[in-house]
């Protein structure tokens, strides 16, 4: 105590060491030593004290582990704690506590690969530590370490005595692989689930996931084959609706509109949810692509009336406005059919072909078709990162007082400037929007965005 009062901390530690030797107890005065090490920033010394106590307190490993983890959460302590634990690995008597805690400290430091290696190393020596794999995987996923998350669940799938079932572990493994964009590995994992748990809810979820992945990577026929397994063998409305959505979209991608229509037509009106709404919307889309505009209107109306979910409801409204706004008397202009075919090309990924038609039609078509062409062209420019062309095209829409889309076009211009960090230009456009269209929904959004931009450093005059 006297030495501590004069801040002779090395002297204090020497007294503690002599006292321990005198009474034959290597952990005597441990609380005092730990407090001194922490107060003086010598965190490695505190870790060593915890390790010494672990040799004598076999039943207190969980508590000691928690104290080391709490210490490591101090930003100034993390690296010292890691280094102390790495050095301690060489001593057999400390091995159990190091195996319990080192991986957690690596995660605190943001090093997922080292954390996983530390946990795997511990499991080799103490197989019961495999119980920690799901905890590691959950935390790794929260940190965005999806590769390590998937690998941990893979190890868990080969372990015994875990609180999760094998099916749950494999599904979580596949989810991590998907988020890591390791699609081939995810496909294999889902195939394992189908083989082991076919006919169960887990099995059908895996079939649906495989179909979704195949669609994502452009293997449309394989996606259709997987979706057909669900359509032919299950009666679950939710599974059927999702399988129909995947199969129908893949058939559209392949250009088989007739088969796509027959697929979406399997939907039942009494089904609930967005998938059912999407099926009726796509029935309208197919008729739209084919130029059967009256039939298209009837399906858009069903989707709008029966399932008034906001985003697809807006899509229905916009398509109905386009069709009805293009009608001349009892007929529709040929340019509307050309526009519908261009929209189909865009959906199928042929952006060059679609853009060529949008540009051509925007120069000659009537106002409703011209605005739709400009709007879709601007969206493609924006997706491709061609910001100046996107702004220029949106401006052609926004400068008109006549079109319904002018407010949203101006909002898009402001958003692009904000995304580019040109906050002053963004605010100027939002203010213009509020002035010209004060009662629009876009104006309300513009007011909110101006408030957000006020907190940012002004750039771009």
Residue 191 lies in a domain: yes
Residue 230 lies in a domain: no
Three-state SS string over the chain comes to CHHHHCCCHHHHHHHHHHHHHHHCCCCCCHHHHHHHHHHCCCHHHHHHHHHHHHHHCHHHHHHHHHHHHHHHCCCCCHHHHHHHHHHHCCCHHHHHHHHHHHHHHHHHCCCHHHHHHHHHHHHHHCHHHHHHHHHHHHHHHHCCCHHHHHHHHHHHHCCCCCCCCHHHHHHHHHHHHHHCCCHHHHHHHHHHHHHHHCCCHHHHHHHHHHHHHHHHCCCHHHHHHHHHHHHHHCCCHHHHHHHHHHHHHHHHHCCCHHHHHHHHCCCCCCCCCHHHHHHHHHHHHHHHHHCCHHHHHHHHHHHHHHCCCHHHHHHHHHHHHHHHHHCECCECCHHHHHHHHHHHHHHCCCHHHHHHHHHHHHHHCCHHHHHHHHHHHHHHHHHCCCHHHHHHHHHHHHCCCCCCCHHHHHHHHHHHHHHCCCHHHHHHHHHHHHHHCCCCHHHHHHHHHHHHHCCCCCCCC
Give residue 269's pLDDT: 63
Residue 417 lies in a domain: yes
Give residue 143's pLDDT: 95
Task: Supply the range of the domain harboring residue 53.
Answer: 1-109
Q: Are residues 50 and 95 in the same domain?
A: yes
Residue 321 lies in a domain: no
Residue 154 lies in a domain: yes
Residue 392 lies in a domain: yes
End of a domain among 77, 109, 141? 109
Give the residue ranges of the chain where pLDDT is below 50.
Answer: 461
Q: Are residues 2 and 102 in the same domain?
A: yes
The CATH number linked to 156 is 1.25.40
Q: Average pLDDT of the chain?
A: 91
Q: Are residues 12 and 99 in the same domain?
A: yes
Residue 146 lies in a domain: yes
End of a domain among 168, 197, 226? 197
Domain count across the chain: 4
End of a domain among 197, 213, 235? 197
Q: Are residues 373 and 399 in the same domain?
A: no
Q: Are residues 46 and 102 in the same domain?
A: yes
Q: Are residues 134 and 62 in the same domain?
A: no
Give residue 461's pLDDT: 45
């Amino acid at each position: 105590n006297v030495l501590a009062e004069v801040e002779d901390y090395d002297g204090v530690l020497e007294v503690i060491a002599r006292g321990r030797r005198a009474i034959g107890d290597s952990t005597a005065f441990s609380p005092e030593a730990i407090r001194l090490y922490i107060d003086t920033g010598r965190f490695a010394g505190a870790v060593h004290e915890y390790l010494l106590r672990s040799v004598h307190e076999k039943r207190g490993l969980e508590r000691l582990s928690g104290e080391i983890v709490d210490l490591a959460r101090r930003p100034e302590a993390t690296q010292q704690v890691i280094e102390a634990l790495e050095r301690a690995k060489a001593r057999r008597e400390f091995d159990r506590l190091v195996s319990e805690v080192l991986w957690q400290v690596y995660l605190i430091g943001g090093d997922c690969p080292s954390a996983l290696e530390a946990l795997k190393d511990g499991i080799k020596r103490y197989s019961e530590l495999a119980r920690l794999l799901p905890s590691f995987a959950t935390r790794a996923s929260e940190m965005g370490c999806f590769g390590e998350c998937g690998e941990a669940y893979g190890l868990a799938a080969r372990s015994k005595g875990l609180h999760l079932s094998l099916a749950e572990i494999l599904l979580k493994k596949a989810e991590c692989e998907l988020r890591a964009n390791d699609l081939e590995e995810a496909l294999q994992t889902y195939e394992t689930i189908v083989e082991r748990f076919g006919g169960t809810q887990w099995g059908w979820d895996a079939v649906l996931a495989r179909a979704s992945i195949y669609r994502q990577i452009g293997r449309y026929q394989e996606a259709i084959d997987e979706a057909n397994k669900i359509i032919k063998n299950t009666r679950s409305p939710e599974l059927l609706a999702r399988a129909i959505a995947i199969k129908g979209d893949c058939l559209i991608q392949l250009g088989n509109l007739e088969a796509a229509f027959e697929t979406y037509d399997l939907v039942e009106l009494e089904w609930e949810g967005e998938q059912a709404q999407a099926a009726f919307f796509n029935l309208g889309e197919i008729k739209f692509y084919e130029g059967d505009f009256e039939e298209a209107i009837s399906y858009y109306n069903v989707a709008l009336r029966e399932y008034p979910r906001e985003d697809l409801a807006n899509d229905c409204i916009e398509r109905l406005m386009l069709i009805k706004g293009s009608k001349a008397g009892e007929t529709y202009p040929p340019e509307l059919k050309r526009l519908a075919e261009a929209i189909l090309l865009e959906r199928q990924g042929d952006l060059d072909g679609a853009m060529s038609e949008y540009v051509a039609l925007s120069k000659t078509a009537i106002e409703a078709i011209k605005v739709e062409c400009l709007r879709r062209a601007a969206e493609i420019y924006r997706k491709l990162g061609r910001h100046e062309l996107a702004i220029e095209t949106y401006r052609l829409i926004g400068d008109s007082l006549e079109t319904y889309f002018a407010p949203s076009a101006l909002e898009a211009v402001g958003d692009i400037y904000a995304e580019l960090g040109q906050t002053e230009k963004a605010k100027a456009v939002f203010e213009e929007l509020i002035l010209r269209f004060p009662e629009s929904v876009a104006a309300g959004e513009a007011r909110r965005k101006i408030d957000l931009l006020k907190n940012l450093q002004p750039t771009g005059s």
